[in-house]
Amino acid sequence: MWSITIDEVEAIAIGAGILGTGGGGSPYLGMLRMQDMLRHGYQVNVIDIDDVADDALVTEVGMMGAPTVGIEKMPGGDEPLWAIEALESYIGRPIDAIACAEVGGGNSIEPLIAGALTGKPVVDGDAMGRAFPELQMSTHLIAGVKPTPGVLVDEKNNRVLFSHITDANTLERFARDVCVQMGCTAMLVTTLMTGKQIKATSVPRTLTLAKRVGEAVLRARRTKESHTQAVLDVTGGSELFAGKLVDVQRKTTGGFARGELVCEGLGVYRGDWLHIAFQNENLVAWRGGRDTRDTVVACVPDLICLLETETGEPITTEQLRYGLRVTVLGIPCTDQFRTPVALKVVGPAAFGYPDVTYIPMPKTPGIGIA
């Protein structure tokens, strides 16, 4: 068990921003809120995943919706409390611990806020080892954990309880539409699990990983070393590209931020272009000409991460704009997403790219996302 500090919140926000591969929502607002809560006496205890009791009851907490809206539409603040209380009242017993649905972006901080508000410990692990746009893209759900009951809550304390839904894809469709009606962002508390289930099906210690990635960036800033190398030392993977954003097409549609960016190469990449398609998160990266996609260099479920070249700061989908200097990293995903069953849910075809073949990025044993 470890109690999170104000500095660690900053490190987690940076690290989770990078692991978020563009999505998970901006961690900035959550970071400010969490740091302010810690200053005012709130406390968050993170427990190692191995320390969760087999019969403990755990649920996931995260924001659903379009990150482009999340930076404009303020939360009420008590949504995690309302949602967890609604779920506890429905199941008739208290929840013992909170888990992170996706360690990427702002959704790494939301469970911490929920932990602070409810006094419940937060499990060090998540269901993606990154961020993904749709809720069925979860190691728990792919492994067969039931998606319901779950609660969707908005800033007006409107509460919709999905008491029984046949499968995770149907829950995604139902909840997404309610989320859009709630104004395109809402707090989702779902995937109720026993300690035994969460230990068997989580990506372990990803809060710690996000913290280590963030600390590496902060250290590189101080020592003027390469942020890129500092991140890769912790995550594994490799640099894919570096250059300047010359085009961003983005629209907020169906509860998602969808679009494409074009990056013109600089330095050793001069004369080349990188195209990235995204749905909240970066999905596929192609090398090619200004207007042509020639070769896939990385794709889901592996991570395609954009860092501001100057500072190592992660760049989320909603922050993309012409002229930004970016370094693009490819980071190997959790092994749990590399099985044929999982690839049906999180592989390129699941995102509408049936012609893209997933070739797993090489992993360094003991390094990066487990």
Q: Measured between alpha carbons, how far is 111 from 200 in angstroms, rounded to an integer?
A: 20
The residues in 180-199 that bind its own copies, with binding defined as CB under 8 A, are: 180-182
Task: Kindly state the smallest distance separating residue 59's Cβ from its own copies, in Å.
Answer: 16
For residue 198, the surrounding DSSP H or E stretch is helix 195-201
Task: Kindly state the smallest distance separating residue 164's Cβ from its own copies, in Å.
Answer: 5
Of 20-28, 101-109, 174-182, 223-231, the window that binds its own copies (rule: CB under 8 A) is 174-182
Q: Measured between alpha carbons, how far is 103 from 11 in angstroms, rounded to an integer?
A: 13
Q: Which is nearer to its own copies, 155 or 302 (CB)?
A: 155
CB atoms inside a 10 Å sphere around CB 156: 10
- Residue 152 has φ and ψ, to the nearest 5°, of -110, 130
Q: Which is nearer to its own copies, 71 or 178 (CB)?
A: 178
- Does residue 254 interact with its own copies by CB under 8 A? no
Task: Kindly state the smallest distance separating residue 61's Cβ from its own copies, in Å.
Answer: 18
For residue 242, the surrounding DSSP H or E stretch is strand 238-253
Q: Measured between alpha carbons, how far is 186 from 179 in angstroms, rounded to an integer?
A: 6
C-beta separation of 16 from 103 below 8 A:
yes
Closest by CA to 182, choosing from 149, 153, 162, is 153
Q: Which residues make Cβ contacts (< 8 Å) with residue 125, sequence separation at least 6?
A: 49, 99, 100, 198, 202, 203, 204, 205, 206, 207
At position 128, the amino acid (one-letter code) is: M
Task: Kindly state the smallest distance separating residue 84's Cβ from its own copies, in Å.
Answer: 13
Quick one: which of 29, 71, 143, 178 contacts its own copies (CB under 8 A)? 178
- Does residue 252 interact with its own copies by CB under 8 A? no
* Local structure of residue 73 (DSSP, 8 states): S
Provide the 3-class DSSP secondary structure of residue 98: strand
Total residues in contact with its own copies, by rule CB under 8 A: 22
Q: Which is nearer to its own copies, 46 or 171 (CB)?
A: 171
At position 12, the amino acid (one-letter code) is: I
- Does residue 170 interact with its own copies by CB under 8 A? yes
Q: CA of 4: how far to CAs of 38, 112, 121, in Å?
A: 9, 9, 11
Task: Kindly state the smallest distance separating residue 183's Cβ from its own copies, in Å.
Answer: 11
- Does residue 173 interact with its own copies by CB under 8 A? yes
Task: Kindly state the smallest distance separating residue 166's Cβ from its own copies, in Å.
Answer: 5
Task: Kindly state the smallest distance separating residue 165's Cβ from its own copies, in Å.
Answer: 5
Task: Kindly state the smallest distance separating residue 167's Cβ from its own copies, in Å.
Answer: 9
Task: Kindly state the smallest distance separating residue 175's Cβ from its own copies, in Å.
Answer: 9
Quick one: which of 45, 174, 238, 246 contacts its own copies (CB under 8 A)? 174
Of 70-78, 165-173, 233-241, 350-358, the window that binds its own copies (rule: CB under 8 A) is 165-173
The residues in 78-137 that bind its own copies, with binding defined as CB under 8 A, are: 86, 90
Q: Which is nearer to its own copies, 254 or 354 (CB)?
A: 254
Quick one: which of 50, 74, 94, 164 contacts its own copies (CB under 8 A)? 164
Quick one: which of 3, 163, 229, 249 contacts its own copies (CB under 8 A)? 163
| Contact map string, positions 133 to 162, toward its own copies, x by CB under 8 A | ------------------x----xxxxxxx
Task: Kindly state the smallest distance separating residue 162's Cβ from its own copies, in Å.
Answer: 6
Q: Which is nearer to its own copies, 179 or 263 (CB)?
A: 179
Cis bond before residue 301 (omega within 30° of 0): yes
210 burial class (0-12, 13-18, 19+ CB within 10 angstroms)? Answer: buried
Closest by CA to 315, choosing from 281, 264, 283, 277, is 281
Q: Measured between alpha carbons, how far is 116 from 121 in angstroms, rounded to an integer?
A: 8
Provide the 3-class DSSP secondary structure of residue 122: strand
At position 193, the amino acid (one-letter code) is: M
Per CB under 8 A, residues contacting its own copies are 86, 90, 151, 156-166, 170, 173-174, 177-178, 180-182
